[in-house]
Structure 1
Amino acid sequence: MSMHLSVLGRVDTTSPPLKLPLAAGEVRTGFPSPADDYLEAELDLVDHLVQHPSATYYLRAKGTSMTGAGIYDGDLLIVDRSLEPKSGHIVIMSVDGELTCKS
C-alpha cells in the first residue's frame, strides 16, 4: 500500500508563538509521583521543530506504507524543503502529480 500526503499549510512566521506547558521531571513508566504535578516552563514547538520557517510545510500522512519508519495514517508531518535529501532520509516527492513519502 502506498502513502499519499495532503498539504495542510506553511509555517506562519508572523503568528505569535504558541506556548505550551512543559511538565517538570521525567516520564515514569510506573506509578506517577504526585510531586511531579507542576510545570517547569512553557515551550513553543515551532522553536524546537522548525529550523527554516520559510521552507517548512505541514502535511498529513494517508496510508500505511511508512509504518516501519514510525509514520502512521493520519500523522502530522513537518517537512523542511531546504534540506538536501541524503541516503537513509525520509523524503516527500511528487509522483504522477501526487505527493508521496518514502525512505
Structure 2
Amino acid sequence: MTISENLTFFTPDATSNNLATLIDCGISAGFPSVTEDIEGEKISLDDALIKNKDTTFYAKVKGQSMINAGLNHDDLLVIDRSLEATDKKIAVCYIDGEFTVKRLRVQNNEIWLQPENPNYPIINITEDNDFMIWGIVTNVIKKV
C-alpha cells in the first residue's frame, strides 16, 4: 500500500481465492419480483474488473474534485497503467510530487487536467511541471 495526499494505492492480490456469489437472475430496481430458489455461481471480482493483472492497481479517492463524474471520497478506483491516455479519459496523474485523478483534455498538443467539480481549477500542464499520466481509471467501486 502506498499513500499520497490525494490517493491511496493498493495492488490486487492475484493469489487470493476470495470469491463472491453472483446472482444472475436480474435484481429488479423497479417493482419487486419473486424468486423462489436463488442460486449463484462463484466469481472473482478481480477477474470481472481487471483485464491486465500485471498493470492494474487500486486506489482510494481522497477529496471531492471529481464528484460530478461519480467519483466520491473513499471510492475505490481500478486503474490500468497499460491503457492509452486519450482525450476525455479519467486518469490518475503524477504532477509536481503529488498524485491526482482528473479527466484528461488533450487538444492542440496541450494537456489539461479537468476536475468534475466547479469548485476546483482546471490544470494546464506545461513543460515546467513534473508530470506523468500514471494510469487510466477503468472501474469505480462504491460503498452504499
TM-score by length of 2: 0.62
Give me the whole-angstrom Cα distance separating, in 2, the residues matched to 1:74 and 1:63: 8
Change (3 A) 1:75 1:36: farther
Partner of 2:75: 75
Q: Could you say what the CA RMSD is over the residues aligned between the two structures, in angstroms?
A: 1.8
Q: Which has the higher contact order (CA 8 A, sep 6+)?
A: 1
Higher helix proportion: 1
Contact 1:25 1:36 in 2 (8 A): no
Computing the radius of gyration over CA atoms, which structure comes out larger, 1 or 2? 2
User: How high is the sequence identity, in percent, across the aligned residues?
Assistant: 33
**C-alpha deviations, 1:9-61, integer Å up to 9, x for none?**
21222x13321011131121244334165123121111111111111111000
Change (3 A) 1:101 1:34: same
TM-score by length of 1: 0.84
- The runs of at least 4 aligned residues of structure 1 exceeding 3 Å deviation read none
- Local SS of the residue matching 1:47: helix
> Which consecutive residues of structure 1, in runs of 5 or more, have no partner in the other structure?
none
Give me the whole-angstrom Cα distance separating, in 2, the residues matched to 1:37 and 1:85: 45
Partner of 1:38: 38
> Which consecutive residues of structure 2, in runs of 5 or more, have no partner in the other structure?
104-144
* Selected match of 1:4 from 3, 6, 26: 6
Partner of 2:127: none
- 82-91 vs 38-47, greater mean Cα deviation: 38-47
Aligned residues: 99
